Amino acid sequence: MQLKMRNIEWWMRKRHLPVGLRARVRNYEHQHWAAMHGVDECEMIRNLPESLRRDIKYHLCLDLVRKVPLFQHMDDLDLVIVCDRVKSLIITKGETITREGDPVQRMLFVVSPPPFHRAPPTLVLNARDARNHGGFRARG
């Protein structure tokens, strides 16, 4: 983590990022490290054979995906494809997820709030919900 942060700090200075952007980057990196316990799962499985990577992602994501009504009755082959497309994403407090009027380009599974958030987790946000509710922001 220290080496990565040194590299990030060097890069931010070299690119003359404003203080506010630097703080947001530091905040994101800190929260990402805390949430992942220092382990980047995507990096760990990236170089594995495709079939093994797909099986691992299926194992890790299936329960979450099956909680979504749209996916509850899908066959296993389709669920393997859906699970393979799932990507972990950490959104820090105050960062915009989507804006009203933006085209919906992805489905988000909000599985847990940040550790300092006391509200119950929200399960799913789908394309239709995003259009009907006019956008969402990360809350903390």
Q: What is the pLDDT of residues 83-128, one digit of tens each?
A: 988 887 778 777 788 888 888 888 877 776 544 444 434 334 444 4
Can you list the positions of beta strands (E) in 78-123?
108-109
Tell me which residue of 26, 18, 24 sits closest to 95, measured CA to CA.
24
Token pair of 125, please? 């946000």
Indicate if 137 and 103 belong to the same structural domain.
yes
The whole model's pTM is what?
0.58
Domain count, the chain: 3
Indicate if 45 and 34 belong to the same structural domain.
no
Indicate if 119 and 83 belong to the same structural domain.
no
pLDDT on residue 14: 96
Indicate if 23 and 11 belong to the same structural domain.
yes
Contact present, 136 and 98 (Cβ < 8 Å):
yes
Cross-strand pairs, 124: 109
Environment class of residue 113 by beta-carbon count within 10 Å: exposed (0-12), middle (13-18) or buried (19+)?
middle
Contact present, 74 and 82 (Cβ < 8 Å):
yes
Indicate if 47 and 77 belong to the same structural domain.
yes
Indicate if 3 and 35 belong to the same structural domain.
yes
Indicate if 31 and 44 belong to the same structural domain.
no
Distance (Å, whole) CA 23 – CA 33: 15
Half-sphere exposure (Cβ direction) of 97: Cα atoms closer than 13 Å:
21
- Containing domain of residue 10, as a range? 1-39
Cross-strand pairs, 40: none
pLDDT on residue 21: 94
What φ, ψ does residue 87 adopt, rounded to 5°?
A: -130, 140
At residue 140, does pLDDT exceed 80? Answer: no
Indicate if 99 and 127 belong to the same structural domain.
yes
